[in-house]
Structure 1
Amino acid sequence: MRLVTAGQMRNIDANTINKFGIPGIVLMENAALAVVRQVRKILHGERQPKIPGKKAVILIGKGNNGGDGFAVARHLSVSGMEVTVFFFAGGGELGGDARLNYELYLKMGGKIVQVEDEMQIRLFRLALIQADIVIDALYGTGFKGSLPDLTQKYVAEMNKCSAPVLAVDIASGLEADSGKVSSTAVKADYTVTFGLAKLGHFLGEGPVYTGELLIDQISIPENIIYEEKITTYLLTAEIIQPLIPVRNRQGHKGTHGTGVFIGGSVGMSGAVVLGGRGALRSGIGLLQMVVPEGIVETVDRGVIEGTVWPAPDYEMLGQGAWNAVLERLTEADACAVGPGLKPNSGFLPVIKSILADTSVPVILDADALNLVAGQPELLSLRKGQGSLVVTPHPGEMARLCQCTVLEVQESRVELALAKAIEWGAIVVLKGAVTVIASPDGRVFLNPTGNPGLGTGGTGDVLTGCIMAYAAQGVPLLGAACLGTFLHGRAADELSGIYGSAGFTAAEVADMLPKVRKTLEVEE
Structure 2
Amino acid sequence: MRVVSAEQMRQIEEKAIHHYGIPSLLLMENAAWAVVEEIRRNLLNHQEQRELSGRKAVILAGKGNNGGDGLAVARHLVFQGMDVTVLLFAGLEELKGDAALNLRLYQGTSGKLFEIKGQEQRRLTRLALAQADVVVDALYGIGLRGALPGLIEEYVDEVNHSPGWVISIDIPSGVEANTGNVYRTAVRAQATVTFGLPKWGLFLGEGPDYCGRVIVDPISIPDAYLEDEGISTFVLMDEDIRTSLPVRQLKGHKGTHGKGILVAGSKGMSGAAVLAGRGALRSGIGLLQIVTAEGIANDVDACLTEATVWHAPGEDYLNEEAWSVINRQSRNAQALAMGPGLGQNLQFIPVLEEILRNLSCPVVLDADALNLVAAEPSLLGLRSGRGPLILTPHPGEMARLCQCSVEDVERNRLDITVAKAVEWEAVVVLKGSVTIIASPDGRAFFNPTGNPGLGTGGTGDVLTGSILAWLAQRVPPLEAACLGVYLHGRAADDLANEYGWSGFTASEVADQLPKARHVIEPKR
**TM-score, normalising length from structure 2?**
0.95
Matches within 5 A, 1:164-243: 164-243=165-244
* C-alpha distance in 2 between matches for 1:483 and 1:403: 27
* C-alpha distance in 2 between matches for 1:83 and 1:485: 41
* C-alpha distance in 1 between matches for 2:399 and 2:29: 46
Once the two structures are TM-superposed, the CA of residue 122 in structure 1 deviates from its matched residue by: 0.7
- Aligned residue number for residue 133 of structure 1: 134
Q: Secondary structure at the match of 1:459?
A: helix
* C-alpha distance in 2 between matches for 1:223 and 1:515: 32
- 1:305-351 residue CA offsets vs partner (Å, 9 max, x unmatched): 11121222222112221111111112211000111111112211211
| Structure 2 runs not aligned, ≥5 long | none
* C-alpha distance in 2 between matches for 1:75 and 1:448: 33
The answer to whether the 8 Å contact 2:70/2:169 transfers is yes
- 1:155-198 residue CA offsets vs partner (Å, 9 max, x unmatched): 12222222221211111112222222222211212222111111
Q: Secondary structure at the match of 1:4?
A: coil
Once the two structures are TM-superposed, the CA of residue 36 in structure 1 deviates from its matched residue by: 2.5
- 1:418-468 residue CA offsets vs partner (Å, 9 max, x unmatched): 100111100011111111111122211112111121111111111111001
- Aligned residue number for residue 14 of structure 2: 14
Once the two structures are TM-superposed, the CA of residue 415 in structure 1 deviates from its matched residue by: 0.8
| Structure 1 runs not aligned, ≥5 long | none
Once the two structures are TM-superposed, the CA of residue 91 in structure 1 deviates from its matched residue by: 2.6
* C-alpha distance in 2 between matches for 1:482 and 1:365: 17
Q: Secondary structure at the match of 1:335?
A: strand
Once the two structures are TM-superposed, the CA of residue 200 in structure 1 deviates from its matched residue by: 1.9
- Aligned residue number for residue 30 of structure 2: 30
- Aligned residue number for residue 92 of structure 1: 93
- Aligned residue number for residue 315 of structure 2: 314
- Aligned residue number for residue 4 of structure 2: 4
- 1:474-516 residue CA offsets vs partner (Å, 9 max, x unmatched): 1111111111111112222222333222222122112212222
Matches within 5 A, 1:271-310: 271-310=272-311
**Is the alpha carbon distance of 1:177 and 1:466 closer, same or farther for their aligned partners in structure 2, counting shifts above 3 Å?**
same
* C-alpha distance in 2 between matches for 1:33 and 1:205: 27
Matches within 5 A, 1:239-254: 239-254=240-255
- Aligned residue number for residue 39 of structure 1: 39
* Higher mean C-alpha displacement, 496-505 vs 448-457: 496-505
- Aligned residue number for residue 464 of structure 1: 465
The answer to whether the 8 Å contact 1:380/1:424 transfers is no
- 1:67-112 residue CA offsets vs partner (Å, 9 max, x unmatched): 2122222333344433211111123333322223223333557532
Q: Secondary structure at the match of 1:142?
A: coil
* C-alpha distance in 2 between matches for 1:408 and 1:215: 28
* Higher mean C-alpha displacement, 240-249 vs 134-143: 240-249
- Aligned residue number for residue 271 of structure 2: 270
- Aligned residue number for residue 401 of structure 1: 402
The answer to whether the 8 Å contact 1:377/1:423 transfers is no
Q: Secondary structure at the match of 1:370?
A: helix
Aligned residues: 523
TM-align CA RMSD: 2.1
Q: Secondary structure at the match of 1:105?
A: helix
Q: Which amino acid aligns with 1:141?
A: I
**Is the alpha carbon distance of 1:317 and 1:102 closer, same or farther for their aligned partners in structure 2, counting shifts above 3 Å?**
same
Q: Which amino acid aligns with 1:352?
A: E
- 1:213-260 residue CA offsets vs partner (Å, 9 max, x unmatched): 222211113232222122222112111112222221112111111111
The answer to whether the 8 Å contact 2:259/2:289 transfers is yes
* C-alpha distance in 1 between matches for 2:58 and 2:294: 69
* Higher mean C-alpha displacement, 385-394 vs 351-360: 351-360
* C-alpha distance in 2 between matches for 1:518 and 1:368: 33
Once the two structures are TM-superposed, the CA of residue 522 in structure 1 deviates from its matched residue by: 7.0
* C-alpha distance in 2 between matches for 1:52 and 1:109: 13
The answer to whether the 8 Å contact 2:470/2:480 transfers is yes
Q: Secondary structure at the match of 1:490?
A: helix
- 1:114-159 residue CA offsets vs partner (Å, 9 max, x unmatched): 1121211111121123323211100001222222222122112222
- Aligned residue number for residue 123 of structure 1: 124
**Is the alpha carbon distance of 1:427 and 1:83 closer, same or farther for their aligned partners in structure 2, counting shifts above 3 Å?**
same
The answer to whether the 8 Å contact 1:179/1:201 transfers is yes
Q: Secondary structure at the match of 1:167?
A: strand
Once the two structures are TM-superposed, the CA of residue 29 in structure 1 deviates from its matched residue by: 2.1
Matches within 5 A, 1:360-509: 360-509=361-510
* C-alpha distance in 1 between matches for 2:523 and 2:258: 25
* C-alpha distance in 1 between matches for 2:23 and 2:495: 49
* C-alpha distance in 2 between matches for 1:28 and 1:248: 50
- 1:201-220 residue CA offsets vs partner (Å, 9 max, x unmatched): 23333233222222221111
The answer to whether the 8 Å contact 1:318/1:344 transfers is yes
* C-alpha distance in 1 between matches for 2:376 and 2:150: 47
Q: Secondary structure at the match of 1:319?
A: coil
* Higher mean C-alpha displacement, 476-485 vs 159-168: 159-168
Q: Secondary structure at the match of 1:287?
A: strand
- 1:24-83 residue CA offsets vs partner (Å, 9 max, x unmatched): 22222222222223333334469x997443332110112111121222223333444332
- 1:272-315 residue CA offsets vs partner (Å, 9 max, x unmatched): 11111111111111111111211121111121211121222222
Q: Which amino acid aligns with 1:7?
A: E
The answer to whether the 8 Å contact 1:76/1:83 transfers is yes
* C-alpha distance in 1 between matches for 2:277 and 2:308: 10
The answer to whether the 8 Å contact 1:380/1:422 transfers is no
Q: Secondary structure at the match of 1:441?
A: coil
* C-alpha distance in 1 between matches for 2:182 and 2:96: 28
**Is the alpha carbon distance of 1:522 and 1:63 closer, same or farther for their aligned partners in structure 2, counting shifts above 3 Å?**
farther
* C-alpha distance in 2 between matches for 1:446 and 1:301: 34
The answer to whether the 8 Å contact 2:263/2:339 transfers is yes
Once the two structures are TM-superposed, the CA of residue 371 in structure 1 deviates from its matched residue by: 0.7
The answer to whether the 8 Å contact 1:363/1:389 transfers is yes
The answer to whether the 8 Å contact 2:135/2:165 transfers is yes
Q: Secondary structure at the match of 2:135?
A: strand
The answer to whether the 8 Å contact 2:242/2:522 transfers is no
Identity %: 58
